[in-house]
């Protein structure tokens, strides 16, 4: 028993202990959507400190920032032309897939992190699609790749190697651009600090995207007072039609 205790103490004494800690912040905790909203740019700042104030954090470091938007169920479908008619012939459901997904890094992923770490953290968009797909095999990979491609073209998936810039050995800045039709709800920015391709510190900050003003009123009314919302839409449509008739009456 005594030998086992001594061996355990020796293992603890020789085990590497991370001396780094990460402090992060965002340029704003809230992104407000108004009638003139055409997208937004957020800045993400961070600094790497030592756990022990007597010790200075030493690099070189690399950064991976993963931004995840509200989760949604998505369906990727394959359309096939049969006798001149396009129909959906195959589909894969992706449960709880991010409505927005961004990866910002300080370098190429294969040069700053191990493949095992990337898979463990589900960093790449393809990993996110793989874990959320309600199917397996080549079909899931094929439909997942198409989902990633379509979201990238729409600006809802951002992958920017060298998207993080170091201001000093331990301080960095990154900028994230959100599209004009970004989903409302909570977002998470999860930051990983890497040294020698190993994770040494991490931190998570949250921000929220929400409608304000008349857009917020319409959005809330459509869900909380559907009858009143429907009547208001009918009255608005009738009024618009009447005004158009008066304006263009000969």
Q: Strand, helix or coil at 101?
A: strand
Query: What is the domain partition of the chain in residue ranges?
Result: 13-211, 213-243
pLDDT of residue 127: 92
Q: What is the dihedral of CA 71, 120, 130, 61, to 10 degrees?
A: 80
Kindly indicate the confidence band of residue 224, based on its pLDDT and cuts at 50, 70 and 90.
low
pLDDT of residue 63: 97
pLDDT of residue 247: 67
pLDDT of residue 92: 92
As a whole number of angstroms, the distance between CA 77 and CA 147 comes to 9
Locate all alpha helices (DSSP H) within the chain, ordered by sequence: 2-14, 109-112, 115-121, 125-132, 138-153, 213-224, 226-247
- What tens digit of pLDDT does each residue of 199-219 get? 999 999 999 998 765 555 555
What is the third-level CATH fold of 13-211? Answer: Immunoglobulin-like (2.60.40)
Averaged confidence pLDDT in the chain: 83
CB atoms within 10 A of CB 226: 10
Residues 194 and 60: beta-carbon distance below 8 Å: no
**133 conformational bin, left if phi > 0, alpha if psi -120 to 50, beta if neither:** beta
- What tens digit of pLDDT does each residue of 25-52 get? 999 899 887 767 788 899 999 999 987 7
Token readout for 40 is 């937004």
Residues 80 and 87: beta-carbon distance below 8 Å: yes
As a whole number of angstroms, the distance between CA 80 and CA 88 comes to 6
As a whole number of angstroms, the distance between CA 216 and CA 207 comes to 18
| Partner residues linked to 68 by β-bridges | 101, 188
Residue 74 pLDDT exceeds 50: yes
Question: Which H/E stretch holds residue 95?
Answer: strand 85-98
CA within 13 Å, CB half, 157: 18
As a whole number of angstroms, the distance between CA 133 and CA 136 comes to 7
Average pLDDT over residues 10-22: 58
- What tens digit of pLDDT does each residue of 117-150 get? 999 999 999 999 998 998 888 888 899 999 999 9
């Amino acid at each position: 028993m005594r030998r086992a205790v001594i061996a355990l103490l020796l293992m603890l004494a020789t085990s590497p202990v991370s001396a780094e800690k990460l402090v992060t912040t965002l340029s704003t905790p809230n992104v407000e959507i108004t009638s003139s909203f055409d997208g937004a740019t957020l800045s993400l700042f961070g600094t790497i400190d030592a756990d022990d104030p007597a010790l200075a954090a030493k690099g070189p470091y690399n950064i991976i920032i993963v931004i995840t938007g509200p989760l949604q169920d998505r369906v990727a479908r394959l359309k096939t032309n049969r006798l001149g008619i396009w129909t959906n012939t195959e589909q894969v459901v992706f449960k709880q897939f991010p409505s927005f997904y961004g990866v910002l890094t300080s370098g190429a992923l294969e040069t700053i992190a191990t493949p095992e770490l990337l898979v463990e953290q589900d960093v790449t968009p393809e990993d996110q699609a793989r874990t959320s797909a309600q199917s397996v095999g080549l079909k899931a990979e094929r439909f997942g790749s198409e989902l990633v491609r379509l979201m990238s073209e729409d600006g809802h998936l951002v992958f920017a190697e060298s998207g993080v810039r170091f201001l000093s050995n331990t301080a960095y800045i990154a900028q994230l651009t959100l599209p004009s039709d970004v989903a409302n709800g909570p977002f998470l920015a999860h930051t990983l600090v890497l040294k020698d391709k190993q994770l040494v510190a991490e931190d998570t900050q949250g921000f929220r995207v929400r409608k304000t003003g008349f857009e917020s009123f319409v959005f809330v009314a459509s869900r909380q007072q559907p009858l009143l919302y429907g009547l208001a839409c009918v009255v608005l449509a009738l009024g618009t039609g009447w005004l158009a008739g008066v304006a263009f009456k000969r």
